[in-house]
């Protein structure tokens, strides 16, 4: 597999692959409550909290009619609001903002497909599933699975495995209790 910005020559043609590197993803409500965070760069917890506070304040204070892109420090923030939740990604300054919006939209589509019209309460009460779906889609800050069908299948397979394991646990504990 070719890495970030890698090229491959063949037959006089050059293919160039550019990948968006996501530094972190934040999901937060219109009230500023953090619902999900995924960091792909290592920072101390204190610094993460400071960054989250600053970014939430910046985005919530912006007019809804303004661009969904914000230059922030040496990164670019790309965000989109879906219902009562903001989805925000921090990418490198030279990365493609529109591709990042598509990544956000794909994540929302995966959540919708799993939860059936996802809402903030789904994220609150099933945060482990929201993280699992994100981890099936993005690893190390780069998109790993572009196929919705493949990502959903992996999630459904995991759910089925968990159900089988739960049934075995319930059955064996029943046998031992008798």
Tens of pLDDT, residue by residue over 1-40, are 334 444 444 444 443 445 678 999 999 999 999 999 999 9
DSSP string across the chain: ---TT-EEEETTEEEE---PPEEEEEEEETT--EEEEEESS---HHHHHHHHHHHHHHHHTS-TTS-SEEEETTEEEEEEEETTEEEEEEEETTS-HHHHHHHHHHHHHHHHHHHTS--HHHHHHTHHHHHHHHHHHEETTEE----HHHHHHHHHHHHHHHHHHHHHHHHHHHHHH-
List the domains of the chain with CATH numbers.
15-177 (3.30.450.60)
Average pLDDT, rounded, for the chain:
85
Which tokens go with 11?
């037959």
Residue 151: pLDDT band by 50, 70, 90 thresholds?
confident
- Looking at the predicted structure, is the pLDDT value of residue 156 above 60? yes
List phi, psi (to 5°) of 13: -105, 150
* Interval 106-125: pLDDT, tens: 999 999 999 988 999 999 99
- Residue 101: which residues within 8 A CB-CB, separation 6 or more? 68, 78, 80
CA dihedral 41, 43, 47, 50 (to 10 degrees): 20
List phi, psi (to 5°) of 42: -90, 120
pLDDT recorded at residue 70: 96
- What's the whole-number mean pLDDT along residues 87-111? 94
Its pTM stands at 0.80
């Amino acid at each position: 597999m070719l890495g970030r910005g890698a090229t491959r020559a063949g037959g006089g043609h050059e293919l160039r692959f550019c990948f968006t590197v996501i530094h972190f993803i934040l999901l937060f409500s219109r009230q500023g409550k953090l619902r999900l965070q995924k960091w792909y760069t290592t920072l101390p917890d204190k610094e993460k909290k400071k960054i989250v506070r600053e970014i939430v304040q910046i985005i919530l204070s912006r007019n809804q009619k303004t661009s969904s892109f914000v230059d922030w420090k040496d990164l670019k923030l790309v965000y989109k609001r879906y219902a009562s939740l903001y989805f925000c990604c921090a990418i490198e300054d030279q990365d493609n903002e529109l591709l990042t919006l598509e990544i956000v939209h794909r994540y929302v589509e995966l959540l919708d497909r799993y939860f059936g019209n996802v809402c903030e309460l789904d994220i609150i009460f099933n945060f482990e599933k929201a993280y699992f779906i994100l981890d099936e889609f993005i690893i190390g800050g780069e998109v790993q699975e572009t196929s919705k069908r493949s990502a959903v299948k992996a999630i459904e397979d995991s759910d089925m495995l968990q159900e089988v394991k739960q049934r075995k646990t319930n059955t064996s504990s029943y046998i031992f209790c008798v």
